[in-house]
Structure 1
Amino acid sequence: MSGHQPPPVVELRGVGLTYPGPPPVEALRPCELTVRRGDFVTVTGPSGAGKSTFLNLVGLLDTQTCGTYLLDGLDTGALGDVDRTALRGRRIGFVFQSFHLLNYRTAVENVALALVYRKMKRVRRVASAREALARVGLEHRMDALPSTLSGGERQRVAIARALVGEPSLLLCDEPTGNLDTATASSILSLLDELNGAGLTLVVITHDAAVARRGGRTLEIRDGRMTEQAVTC
Structure 2
Amino acid sequence: MAYCTPPVIEFRQVALTYPGPPPVPALRPCDLRIEQGEFVTVVGPSGSGKSTFLNIAGLLDAPTEGTYLLDGIDIGALKDGDRTALRGRRIGFVFQSFHLLPHRSARENVLLAMVYNGTPRADRTHRAREALEQVGLGHRVDALPTRLSGGERQRVAIARALVSRPSLLLCDEPTGNLDSRNAESVLSLLKQLHRGGMTVLVITHDQTVAARGARTVAIRDGVLHEQVTA
Per the normalisation by structure 2, the TM-score is 0.96
C-alpha deviation, 1:98, in angstroms: 0.2
Distance change >3 Å, CA 202–CA 120, structure 1 → 2: closer
Aligned 8 A contact 1:6 1:37 in 2: no
Equivalents in 1 of 2:193, 2:125: separation in Å?
21
Equivalents in 2 of 1:190, 1:134: separation in Å?
12
Equivalents in 1 of 2:194, 2:46: separation in Å?
27
C-alpha deviation, 1:152, in angstroms: 0.5
Q: What's the counterpart of residue 167 of structure 1?
A: 166
Match 2:3 to one of 2, 5, 11 = 5
Equivalents in 1 of 2:124, 2:75: separation in Å?
28
Distance change >3 Å, CA 111–CA 160, structure 1 → 2: same
Per the normalisation by structure 1, the TM-score is 0.95
Amino acid at match of 2:75: T
Is 1:104 the counterpart of 2:120 in the alignment? no
Query: May I ask how many residue pairs the two structures share in their alignment?
Result: 227
C-alpha deviation, 1:118, in angstroms: 3.1
Amino acid at match of 1:206: H
Within 5 Å, give how 1:80-91 maps onto structure 2.
80-91=79-90
| Unmatched segments (≥5 aa) in structure 2 | none
Equivalents in 2 of 1:195, 1:75: separation in Å?
25
Amino acid at match of 1:20: P
C-alpha deviation, 1:126, in angstroms: 1.2
Aligned 8 A contact 1:95 1:171 in 2: yes
C-alpha deviation, 1:122, in angstroms: 2.6
Q: What's the counterpart of residue 206 of structure 1?
A: 205
- Cα deviations by residue, 1:87-126 (Å, 9 ceiling, x for unpaired): 0000000000000001111100100111101333333111
Q: What's the counterpart of residue 129 of structure 2?
A: 130
Is 1:62 the counterpart of 2:61 in the alignment? yes
C-alpha deviation, 1:208, in angstroms: 1.1
Equivalents in 2 of 1:6, 1:183: separation in Å?
37
Aligned 8 A contact 2:40 2:213 in 1: yes
Amino acid at match of 1:5: Y
Q: Please give the secondary structure, in 2, of the residue aligned with 1:125.
A: helix
Equivalents in 1 of 2:92, 2:140: separation in Å?
22
- Cα deviations by residue, 1:42-74 (Å, 9 ceiling, x for unpaired): 011110010000000000000000000000000
Equivalents in 1 of 2:118, 2:75: separation in Å?
23
Q: What's the counterpart of residue 24 of structure 1?
A: 23
Is 1:182 the counterpart of 2:181 in the alignment? yes
Q: CA RMSD in A?
A: 1.1
C-alpha deviation, 1:4, in angstroms: 4.3
| Unmatched segments (≥5 aa) in structure 1 | none
Amino acid at match of 2:182: T
Equivalents in 1 of 2:17, 2:118: separation in Å?
37
Equivalents in 1 of 2:150, 2:138: separation in Å?
17
Aligned 8 A contact 1:6 1:36 in 2: no
Amino acid at match of 1:118: N
Aligned 8 A contact 2:89 2:117 in 1: no
Equivalents in 2 of 1:12, 1:159: separation in Å?
25
Q: What's the counterpart of residue 140 of structure 2?
A: 141
Is 1:117 the counterpart of 2:116 in the alignment? yes
Aligned 8 A contact 1:91 1:168 in 2: yes
Equivalents in 2 of 1:24, 1:16: separation in Å?
13
Aligned 8 A contact 2:88 2:117 in 1: no
